[in-house]
Structure 1
Amino acid sequence: MNRLDTGLQTLQQWTHLSSDALLIYCGLIIFFLAALCHQRQLKSKYAIWAVLGLALAAELFGARHDILDRGYWRVGESLRDILCMSLMPLLLWLGAHYRIWRY
């Protein structure tokens, strides 16, 4: 786990982004890659589920790390991270699904 934390800190230093901004960009990248692979593109349910699934999986992995190292799970921070990662893709998906933007 130490190597993973070191790698994430190195990525943050290299990109000069905060952890929240990094989560937002990761969520958008995952959404756009999954939407690109699917026929419906931005309306794709697979793309939004991919983002939500990966956000939940990452936070469960982080919860495991919290419980083993600290003895408790920081639920509030995990929910904030899930929200940061999935909010922008969810807004894009809702906008495309309900045709807010005409294209």
Structure 2
Amino acid sequence: MSPLQHTKLFLIEYTHLAKDALHIYVALAILLGACLVFGWKVRQWRPWLLVLAAALAGEVWDWYENDALGRSADYDGHWKDLWNTMLVPTILLLAARYTPIFEKPRAPDAERRDAPSGDEAQVPAPAAGGERDFV
């Protein structure tokens, strides 16, 4: 058994989580870790692609290992693992790109400066003796 499989079994036993739940947590750790380490944003494609690359590499590794042990390929299981791994990072990517929920809130004083005051525009007074000087 490979070190990857030993690590998976250790995590399953130690955390008491299902293998499917570990896929989600590992995907989030890779996504957020890449953003933290490399300074990437969730709305960018790079962290999402890194999660996809890691998920594909893990499934290929599983496939080769099962093949080496003489087990038949479980294509449905591999697709389920990929789907399960990529779902939350995809939702976060789409939410960050196409909704305002990850935008920083504006400072209250910035909103006041940008908002119209409701006052009429101030026009400079005409020169004394001009047309509008009735006094």
Q: Common fold, TM-score beyond 0.5? A: yes
Partner of 1:35: 35
- Corresponding pairs, count: 103
Task: Indicate whether 1:13 and 2:19 are aligned.
Answer: no
The corresponding residue for 2:84 is 84
Gaps of 5+ in 1: none
Residues in 2 aligned to 1:102 and 1:82: alpha-carbon distance in whole angstroms: 26
Q: Which has the higher helix share?
A: 1
Task: Tell which deviates more after alignment, 85-94 or 8-17.
Answer: 8-17
Which residue identity is paired with 2:94?
L
Name the amino acid aligned to 2:7: G
TM-score by length of 2: 0.69
Please list every run of 5 or more consecutive structure 2 residues that lacks an aligned counterpart in the other structure.
104-135
Identical positions, percent: 27
Higher alpha-carbon Rg: 2
The one-letter code sitting in structure 1 at the alignment partner of 2:45 is K
The alignment yields a C-alpha RMSD, in angstroms, of 1.7
Whole-angstrom distance in 1 between the partners of 2:2 and 2:39: 39
| Larger RCO (alpha carbons 8 Å, 6+ apart) | 1
Structure 2 distance, partners of 1:49, 1:7, is: 23
TM-score (normalised: structure 1): 0.88
- State the 1:49 CA deviation: 0.1
Q: Which is further off, 38-47 or 56-65?
A: 38-47
Following superposition, the deviation at residue 94 of structure 1 comes to: 0.7
